[in-house]
């Protein structure tokens, strides 16, 4: 039946992004032209931070041309029948693809390329982010036309909410059956933040029609700020040179030039072996250089004090919390130093003595500090801690970390002699050691388990061994309790730490 | 104080004869109630009908002018019992709640109401929360209608049909002396459309026109022998009266089509979806003219047998589109047709799936399969099927193109929610005391069962957190914890949980999340709400109520103090004191708080008054990307961003612009000994001159002390 069909519009958004207001604008635009219009939504529990959709249909025919007939609109988007879809975030565009709503023959797909991460992506112990490269390809393949750009940045730039840019982009595609002025009138009619909304609308419209200001692409990935490359770094093969440079800079910044020399010595050894093996892209050196730099610059109170007292940090904080020029800022740090932090700065023998002396009473040393660092005294205290940098090489923690590093590097060298793949996996395992307190302990424990397994294993088939190390490395990041790792290495699951808590059975009827 | 203010929408309720109403479905229902001359309205909030309660709450003037009594009932049972007013007196009343959970709660009163019968029209508006976006168990209202013999309306989801059916429902109720239920699916409640209004009708009996003569009629009492007579009346008088009314008023609709050998039987609520599928297959036009004839049931219970027989008798086969299970309607139609000797095969759940929502894709597949089986002579079925397959294949294509499914985005606690810290504390407590059985409840706090907390092993119903632990607690080595919201507490948890636990000497721990409102349904007021409607000066006290029934161990802990909550929880779990131990986690719903304070703060800032704005932040060079903080929070504003370091590959944690400075990040850092990358920034707006001066002085000293990063050149220089 060839009659004029409704235009169907799907808005995929997250709670609080103004999807409802966007629907209202579309309704208002349709009403100005006396087009029949219907909108529905599924707020339900989705209103609480979840994904939500708004669905609209507009019949592009004024009511007086309908002769009393009423169009029958659908209340739900149906596969393949969408004319225009706008997603406020990239993964939401993926969700729409997954639902079968995008039709090559019909659908214009607009999506913002920025990410709002889902909880599963955020809680991963490492990098749990969804790979969006495939998503972009899929969108371009499945839609009739796609417009993917960072709408959030445009919204920020124009001091408005993302829904205004979304509306402008929709209007710009020409799929909405309203001229630009009608859309702008709808925004004016709503009467709220009109000027900013119109700016956002114009930005979205301009981007899609190619008439707007400079295009908005994703911000360029952060490049290493290697200013001038020291001579020893220049001697590294090209594929790893930049990374080793960044490592040198990191370690220098952490401790000293001499410490950076030690770093370079260690890198050179690995690089030398790998070079002999004829590896052209140096994967083992790359990952070793990366995680070695991070490990050598392990996190301790001195480092934290150092980073928190830098001029650039003070500027960054003001910018991040959008403090205006001249507005006083009170700054509180949450620090909870304990016996461990104290011992780690003592020389090894004294540290061991102290640990034994206070065994079982560690908790008593943990003080939850709310340290004000906008005051001179608070800042000075941090400066004092910062100055302990010169003492660091004499501390017990330093000795322990170097010992563990040496063991790790030895394993990598040993593996490299046998198989590049195994060595690469061991190098990547360096990422397990990071963080503070419990997190750091857990990382050390996990890496040690993997190294011990490697050192003791009878496996001599490189492929099997590589798979074993990889599985263990991934397993170590699966749960904080180390259960998955234990299973992967065939060990007993870790015992929960004994706690001096008395359990009281429920009492019978009093 | 509800999440949405309907002050503007209330004006639409005043529209008169011939005016065009434009707005949401649930508002149209409200307007239809006023046009029907109701004397009283009640209800209990719950998606998707909360707005009906909210809008009535915002329209006191209008209601009082018409003499209509409105109350926000204590529970669905209370609302259903309110309809008792229509048993003896010719007054129309309407109540509303979320089905089927609310109908479960209301069932006692509904059975009694339906048995006694009504003189004045009694209407129950049900938000049928089934399918996409639903937050409850997937059951149907239909069974309630059948067991108590109440009539069930399922209007076509356009405003004109909905409003018309609300008005007809009152007449049907009076004609058959039976309460009527009207079910509206989620999207129908939220559908934006228009209809032409009538004038509002002031009820004949109202708070302005009072009843002077109370009535007593033993035949309305649910005791023998009245109950036997009531049952007989249901069958002999009320049912036939209803069927005649439905037939005479043509409440169900028949649409002819050129493919006369086929037929579709469609409940009103599914009509638009079915038409869309037909439109996509080129079997219906934009205005719903279908090639396949349709029988649309705007009343799904009771059936009108002669209409069904007439529709089916000439067809070669008929398809029933009945969403949800069991397939009551299909089976009932089968019985009607077979008893009448109609031979036409009847399809339904043999073609459509037994369970789940009938989405566009399901309808397309179902209708395709029906046509494939029926093969009508005047239709190129092969062509239709090709169209259908192209459309229904798109989902697989999309899934295949993505390779890996996109991460799901379940609902969770809002930014700054006071319930989040409580679950963080429970998680930390379990780390120390070992795992604990937690009986969860209904409310925003049900999200505690989701990542990153995964706290709560069972959910049995609203306010039933503590009651649902009464069986497991005596069987568990350690004490168990129950969760209850303040909404659930007043709804029934106080009696079914607290009173019962005290009376039976149960030794367990109850955490009451006191955020001040029924937040999950849109922050409606409850007896203990800090802000009440103007005519409700009373705020009831939960702690006093607990003490009043003999709970000795009651501790109130501010929700955001994770360390205090942790130690109180440990105390409750290990104390030698028996009996019920109640921890009241006290913290106002942040949504409501922000709504309340935002305009005040804006006003103060404009007037040049001093205001402190709190924000949390993370030093991205101190963060190492382990994300333990996120695993203990899940706050939407605590998220991740690419690592600024050239070496690190894992994303770092970051606090985005949405932060309301609730303080949980800092509390968690201390309670769980996380990393030192968090900071709290308090920005002093409109600071005093003294503050500015001090800040400038401090900054200049700090500026001199501040360091910079060390580079090779700087060190060698």
Residue B145 sits in a domain of what CATH number? 3.40.50.970
Examine residue B278 and state whether it is found in any structural domain, yes or no: yes
Tell which residue, B652, B711, B707, has the closest CA to residue B678: B652
Tokens of A279: 């590896």
- Distance to chain A for B634, nearest Cα, Å: 7
Q: Is the domain of B243 the same as that of B268?
A: no
**Whether pLDDT at A320 is above 70:** yes
Place A28 in a pLDDT band, splitting at 50, 70 and 90. Answer: very high
Nearest to B132 among A42, A122, A307 (CB): A42
Question: Which DSSP category does A495 fall into?
Answer: P
- Whether residue B619 and residue A308 make contact (CB cut-off 8 A), yes or no, is yes
Q: Is the domain of B305 the same as that of B427?
A: no
Place A259 in a pLDDT band, splitting at 50, 70 and 90. Answer: very high
Show residues of chain B in contact with A113, CB under 8 Å.
Answer: none
Query: What is the pLDDT at residue A213?
Result: 59
- Whether residue B414 and residue A102 make contact (CB cut-off 8 A), yes or no, is no
The CA distance from A198 to A204, in Å, is: 10
B550-590 confidence digits (pLDDT tens):
999 999 999 999 999 999 999 999 999 999 999 999 999 99
| Number of domains, chain B | 4
Which of A3, A75, A480 should be substituted to probe chain B, the one whose Cβ sees the most B Cβ atoms within 10 Å? A75
- Whether residue A101 and residue B681 make contact (CB cut-off 8 A), yes or no, is no
Nearest to B406 among A94, A313, A373 (CB): A94
The CA distance from A274 to A415, in Å, is: 11
The CA distance from B280 to A106, in Å, is: 13
Query: What is the pLDDT at residue A493?
Result: 75
Show residues of chain A in contact with B639, CB under 8 Å.
Answer: 116-117, 122
Report the top-level CATH class of A7-209: alpha beta
Task: State which residue of chain A sits closest to B578, comparing Cα positions.
Answer: A507
If 0-12 CB within 10 Å is exposed, 13-18 middle and 19+ buried, where does residue A91 land?
Answer: buried
Q: Averaged over B501-517, what is the pLDDT?
A: 95
Query: What do you get for the CA distance between the two ends of chain B, in Å?
Result: 66
Q: Averaged over A301-311, what is the pLDDT?
A: 94
- Whether residue B625 and residue A126 make contact (CB cut-off 8 A), yes or no, is yes
The CA distance from B201 to B573, in Å, is: 59
Query: Which stretch of A453-462, B127-136, B594-603 has the lowest confidence by average pLDDT?
Result: A453-462
- Report the CATH number at residue B325: 3.40.50.920
**Whether pLDDT at A506 is above 70:** no
- Whether residue B287 and residue A322 make contact (CB cut-off 8 A), yes or no, is no
- Whether residue B708 and residue A252 make contact (CB cut-off 8 A), yes or no, is no
Examine residue B716 and state whether it is found in any structural domain, yes or no: no
User: B23 is in which domain, residue-wise?
Assistant: 13-247
Nearest to A314 among B285, B684, B706 (CB): B706
Please give the interface size between A and B, counted as residue pairs whose CB atoms are below 8 Å apart. 441
- Whether residue B646 and residue A499 make contact (CB cut-off 8 A), yes or no, is no
Domain boundary among B198, B229, B247: B247
Tell which residue, A253, A272, A252, A270, has the closest CA to residue A261: A252
- Whether residue A246 and residue B134 make contact (CB cut-off 8 A), yes or no, is no
- Distance to chain B for A398, nearest Cα, Å: 19
Q: What is the mean pLDDT of chain B?
A: 94
**Whether pLDDT at B149 is above 80:** yes
B346-391 confidence digits (pLDDT tens):
999 999 999 999 999 999 999 999 999 999 999 999 999 999 999 9
Q: Is the domain of B441 the same as that of B315?
A: no
- Whether residue B193 and residue A38 make contact (CB cut-off 8 A), yes or no, is yes
The CA distance from B626 to A381, in Å, is: 27
Task: State which residue of chain A sits closest to B393, comparing Cα positions.
Answer: A100
How would you write B664-686 as a 3-class SS string?
Answer: HHHHHHHHHCCCCCEEEEEEEEC
Nearest to B190 among A43, A45, A120 (CB): A43
Q: Dihedral, CA atoms, A468, A473, A474, A477, nearest 10 degrees?
A: 150
Examine residue B408 and state whether it is found in any structural domain, yes or no: no
- Whether residue A141 and residue B401 make contact (CB cut-off 8 A), yes or no, is yes
A354-410 confidence digits (pLDDT tens):
988 888 777 777 888 899 999 999 999 999 999 999 999 999 999 999 999 999 999
Domain boundary among B212, B247, B282: B247
- Whether residue B709 and residue A76 make contact (CB cut-off 8 A), yes or no, is no
**Whether pLDDT at A274 is above 60:** yes
Place B538 in a pLDDT band, splitting at 50, 70 and 90. Answer: low
Show residues of chain A in contact with B634, CB under 8 Å.
Answer: 119, 122-123
B195-209 confidence digits (pLDDT tens):
999 999 999 999 999
User: Is the alpha carbon torsion for A40, A44, A47, A49 positive or negative?
Assistant: negative
- Whether residue B579 and residue A243 make contact (CB cut-off 8 A), yes or no, is no
Which of A9, A41, A72, A440 should be substituted to probe chain B, the one whose Cβ sees the most B Cβ atoms within 10 Å? A72
Q: Averaged over B386-414, what is the pLDDT?
A: 93
Place A42 in a pLDDT band, splitting at 50, 70 and 90. Answer: confident
Beta bridge partners of A9: A56, A84
Q: At what angle do helices B689-705 and A311-320 cross, to 10 degrees?
A: 140
The CA distance from A115 to A111, in Å, is: 11
Q: At what angle do helices B25-35 and B159-176 cross, to 10 degrees?
A: 40
Place A45 in a pLDDT band, splitting at 50, 70 and 90. Answer: low
Q: Is the domain of B372 the same as that of B397?
A: yes
Task: State which residue of chain B sits closest to A141, comparing Cα positions.
Answer: B401
- Report the CATH number at residue B648: 3.30.70
Which of A115, A369, A506, A509 should be substituted to probe chain B, the one whose Cβ sees the most B Cβ atoms within 10 Å? A506
**Whether pLDDT at A60 is above 90:** yes
Domain boundaries, chain A: 7-209, 301-322+329-394
- Whether residue B709 and residue A257 make contact (CB cut-off 8 A), yes or no, is no
Nearest to A379 among B396, B666, B702 (CB): B702
A77-86 confidence digits (pLDDT tens):
999 999 999 9
Examine residue B407 and state whether it is found in any structural domain, yes or no: no
Nearest to A129 among B275, B651, B691 (CB): B651
Q: Is the domain of B62 the same as that of B157?
A: yes
Query: What is the pLDDT at residue B717?
Result: 39
Length of chain B: 717
Backbone angles phi, psi at A211, to 5 degrees: -110, 0
- Whether residue A5 and residue B647 make contact (CB cut-off 8 A), yes or no, is no
B10-38 confidence digits (pLDDT tens):
899 999 999 999 999 999 999 999 999 99
Q: Is the domain of B237 the same as that of B261?
A: no
Place B532 in a pLDDT band, splitting at 50, 70 and 90. Answer: low
Q: Is the domain of B155 the same as that of B196?
A: yes
**Whether pLDDT at A487 is above 50:** yes
Nearest to B288 among A72, A76, A324 (CB): A72
Place A264 in a pLDDT band, splitting at 50, 70 and 90. Answer: very high
Place B2 in a pLDDT band, splitting at 50, 70 and 90. Answer: low
Q: Averaged over A470-488, what is the pLDDT?
A: 87
The CA distance from A167 to A28, in Å, is: 13
Q: Is the domain of B49 the same as that of B171?
A: yes
**Whether pLDDT at B520 is above 80:** yes
Place B326 in a pLDDT band, splitting at 50, 70 and 90. Answer: very high
Task: State which residue of chain A sits closest to B697, comparing Cα positions.
Answer: A376
Show residues of chain A in contact with B690, CB under 8 Å.
Answer: none
Coil, strand, or helix at residue B647?
coil
Domain boundary among B367, B402, B437: B402
Query: What is the pLDDT at residue A218?
Result: 44
How would you write B165-215 as a 3-class SS string?
Answer: HHHHHHHHHHHHCCCEEEEEEHHHHHCEEEEECCCCCCCCCCCCCCCCCCC
- Whether residue B679 and residue A334 make contact (CB cut-off 8 A), yes or no, is yes
Task: State which residue of chain B sits closest to A80, comparing Cα positions.
Answer: B391
ipTM attached to this prediction:
0.93
The CA distance from B331 to A58, in Å, is: 38
Q: What is the mean pLDDT of chain A?
A: 89
Place B3 in a pLDDT band, splitting at 50, 70 and 90. Answer: low
Which of A321, A483, A507 should be substituted to probe chain B, the one whose Cβ sees the most B Cβ atoms within 10 Å? A321
Q: Is the domain of B73 the same as that of B207?
A: yes
Query: What is the pLDDT at residue A220?
Result: 42
The CA distance from B62 to B199, in Å, is: 13
Query: What is the pLDDT at residue A444?
Result: 94
**Whether pLDDT at B6 is above 80:** no
Question: Which DSSP category does B42 fall into?
Answer: E
Q: Is the domain of B31 the same as that of B154?
A: yes
Examine residue B600 and state whether it is found in any structural domain, yes or no: no
Task: State which residue of chain A sits closest to B48, comparing Cα positions.
Answer: A44
Longest CA span, chain A? 95
Nearest to A98 among B393, B406, B650 (CB): B406
Q: Is the domain of B356 the same as that of B315?
A: yes
Which of B5, B8, B192, B614 should be substituted to probe chain A, the one whose Cβ sees the most A Cβ atoms within 10 Å? B192
A225-239 confidence digits (pLDDT tens):
445 678 899 999 999
Q: Is the domain of B616 the same as that of B564?
A: no
- Please give the share of chain A, as a percent, with pLDDT higher than 90: 70
């Amino acid at each position: 039946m060839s009659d004029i069909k409704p235009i169907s519009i799907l808005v995929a958004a997250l709670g609080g992004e103004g999807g409802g207001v966007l629907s209202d604008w579309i309704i208002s635009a349709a009403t100005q032209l006396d087009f029949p219009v219907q909108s529905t939504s599924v707020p339900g529990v989705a209103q609480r931070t979840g994904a939500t959709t708004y669905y609209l249909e507009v019949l592009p025919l004024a009511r007086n041309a309908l002769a009393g007939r009423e169009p029958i609109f659908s209340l739900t988007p149906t596969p393949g029948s969408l004319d225009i879809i706008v997603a406020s975030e990239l993964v939401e565009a993926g969700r729409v693809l997954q639902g079968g709503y995008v039709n090559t023959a019909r659908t214009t797909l607009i999506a913002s390329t920025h990410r709002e991460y889902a909880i599963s992506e955020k809680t991963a112990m490492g990098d749990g982010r969804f790979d969006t490269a495939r998503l972009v390809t899929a969108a371009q393949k499945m839609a009739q036309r796609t417009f993917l750009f960072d709408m959030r940045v445009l919204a920020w730039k124009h001091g408005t909410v993302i829904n205004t840019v979304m509306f402008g982009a929709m209007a710009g595609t020409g799929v909405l059956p309203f001229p630009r002025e009608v859309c702008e009138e709808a925004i004016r009619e709503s009467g709220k933040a009109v000027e900013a909304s119109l700016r956002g609308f114009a930005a979205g419209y301009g981007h899609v029609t190619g008439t707007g200001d400079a295009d908005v692409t994703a911000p360029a990935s952060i490049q290493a700020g290697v200013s001038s490359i020291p001579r020893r770094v220049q001697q590294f093969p090209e594929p790893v040179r930049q990374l080793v440079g960044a490592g040198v800079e990191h370690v220098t910044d952490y401790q000293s030039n001499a410490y950076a020399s030690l770093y370079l010595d260690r890198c050179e050894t690995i690089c030398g072996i790998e070079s002999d093996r004829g590896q052209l892209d140096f994967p083992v050196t790359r990952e070793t250089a990366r995680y070695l730099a991070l490990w050598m610059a392990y996190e301790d109170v001195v480092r934290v004090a150092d980073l928190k007292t830098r001029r650039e940090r003070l500027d960054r904080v003001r910018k991040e919390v959008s403090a205006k020029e001249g507005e006083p800022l009170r700054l509180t740090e949450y620090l909870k130093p304990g016996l461990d932090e104290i011992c780690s700065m003592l020389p090894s023998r004294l540290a061991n003595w102290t640990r034994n002396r206070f065994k079982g009473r560690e908790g008593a040393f943990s003080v939850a500090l709310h340290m004000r660092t906008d005051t001179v005294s608070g800042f000075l205290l941090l400066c004092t801690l910062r100055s302990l940098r010169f003492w660091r090489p004499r501390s017990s923690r330093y000795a322990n970390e170097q010992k563990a590093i040496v063991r790790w590097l030895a394993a990598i060298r040993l593996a490299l002699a046998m198989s590049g793949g195994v060595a690469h996996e061991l190098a990547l395992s360096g990422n397990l050691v990071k963080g503070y307190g419990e997190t750091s302990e857990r990382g050390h424990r996990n890496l040690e388990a993997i190294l011990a397994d490697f050192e003791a294993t009878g496996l001599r088939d490189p492929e099997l061994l590589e798979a074993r190390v990889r599985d263990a490395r991934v397993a170590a990041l699966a749960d904080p309790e180390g259960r998955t790792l234990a299973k992967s290495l065939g060990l007993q699951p870790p015992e929960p730490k004994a706690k001096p808590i008395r359990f009281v059975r429920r009492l019978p009827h009093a | 104080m509800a999440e949405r203010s309907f002050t503007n929408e209330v004006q639409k309720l005043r529209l008169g004869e011939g005016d065009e109403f434009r707005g949401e479905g649930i508002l149209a229902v409200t307007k239809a109630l006023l046009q029907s001359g109701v004397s009283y309205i009640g209800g209990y909030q719950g998606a998707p009908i909360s707005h009906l309660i909210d809008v009535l709450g915002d329209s006191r003037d209008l209601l009082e002018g018409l003499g209509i009594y409105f109350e926000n009932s204590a529970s669905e049972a209370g609302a259903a019992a309110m309809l008792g007013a229509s048993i003896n007196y010719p007054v129309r009343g309407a109540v509303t709640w979320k089905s089927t959970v609310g109908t479960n709660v209301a069932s006692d009163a509904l059975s009694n109401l339906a048995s006694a019968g009504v003189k004045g029209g009694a209407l129950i508006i049900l938000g049928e929360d089934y399918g996409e976006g639903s937050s409850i168990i997937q059951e149907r209202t239909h069974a309630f209608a059948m067991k108590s013999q109440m009539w069930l309306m399922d209007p076509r989801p356009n405003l004109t049909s909905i409003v018309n059916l609300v008005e007809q429902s009152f007449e049907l109720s009076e004609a058959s002396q039976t309460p009527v239920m009207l079910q509206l699916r989620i999207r129908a409640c939220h559908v934006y459309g228009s209809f032409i209004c009538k004038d509002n009708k002031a009820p004949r009996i109202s708070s302005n026109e009072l009843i002077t003569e109370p009535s007593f009629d033993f035949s309305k009492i649910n005791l023998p022998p009245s109950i036997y007579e009531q049952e007989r009346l249901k069958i002999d008088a009320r049912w036939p009266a209803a069927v005649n009314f439905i037939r005479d008023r043509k409440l169900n609709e028949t649409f002819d089509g050129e493919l006369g050998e086929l037929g579709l039987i469609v409940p009103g609520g599914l009509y638009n979806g079915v038409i869309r599928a037909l439109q996509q297959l080129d079997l219906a036009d934009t205005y719903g003219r279908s090639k396949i004839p349709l029988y649309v049931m705007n009343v799904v219970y009771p059936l009108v047998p002669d209409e069904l027989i007439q529709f089916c008798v000439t067809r070669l086969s008929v398809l029933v589109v009945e969403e949800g299970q069991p397939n009551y309607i299909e089976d009932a139609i089968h019985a009607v047709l077979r008893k009448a000797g109609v031979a036409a095969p009847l399809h339904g759940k043999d073609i459509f799936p037994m369970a789940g929502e009938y989405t566009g894709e399901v309808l397309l597949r179902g209708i395709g399969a029906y046509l494939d089986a029926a093969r009508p002579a005047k239709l190129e079925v092969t062509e239709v099927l090709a169209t259908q397959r192209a459309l229904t294949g798109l989902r697989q294509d999309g899934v295949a193109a993505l390779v890996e499914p996109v991460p799901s985005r379940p609902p969770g606690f809002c930014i700054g929610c006071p319930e989040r810290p409580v679950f963080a504390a429970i998680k930390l407590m379990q780390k120390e005391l070992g795992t604990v059985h937690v009986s969860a409840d209904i409310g925003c706090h049900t999200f505690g069962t989701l990542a990153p907390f995964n706290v709560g092993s069972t959910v049995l119903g609203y306010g039933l957190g503590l009651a649902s632990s009464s069986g497991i607690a005596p069987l568990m080595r350690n004490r168990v914890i129950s969760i209850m919201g303040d909404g659930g507490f007043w709804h029934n948890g106080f009696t079914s949980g607290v009173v019962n636990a005290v009376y039976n000497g149960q030794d367990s721990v109850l955490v009451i999340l006191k955020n001040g409102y029924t937040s999950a349904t849109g922050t409606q007021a409850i007896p203990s709400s800090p802000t009440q409607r103007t005519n409700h000066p009373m705020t009831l006290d939960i702690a006093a109520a607990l003490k009043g029934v003999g709970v000795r161990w009651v501790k109130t802990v501010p929700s955001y103090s994770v360390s205090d909550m942790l130690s109180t929880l440990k105390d409750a779990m290990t104390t030698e004191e028996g009996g019920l131990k109640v921890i009241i986690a006290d913290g106002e719903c942040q949504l409501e708080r922000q709504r309340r304070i935002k305009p005040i703060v804006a006003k103060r800032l404009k007037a040049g008054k001093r205001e402190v704005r709190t924000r949390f932040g993370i030093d991205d060079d101190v963060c190492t990307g382990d994300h333990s903080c996120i695993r203990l929070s899940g706050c939407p504003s605590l998220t991740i961003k690419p690592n600024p370091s050239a070496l690190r590959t894992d994303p770092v944690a970051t606090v985005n612009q949405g932060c309301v400075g609730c303080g949980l990040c800092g509390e968690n850092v201390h309670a769980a000994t996380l990393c030192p990358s968090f900071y709290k920034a308090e920005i002093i707006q409109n600071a005093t001159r003294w503050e500015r001066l001090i800040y400038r002085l401090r900054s200049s000293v700090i500026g001199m002390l501040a360091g910079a990063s060390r580079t090779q050149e700087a060190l060698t220089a």
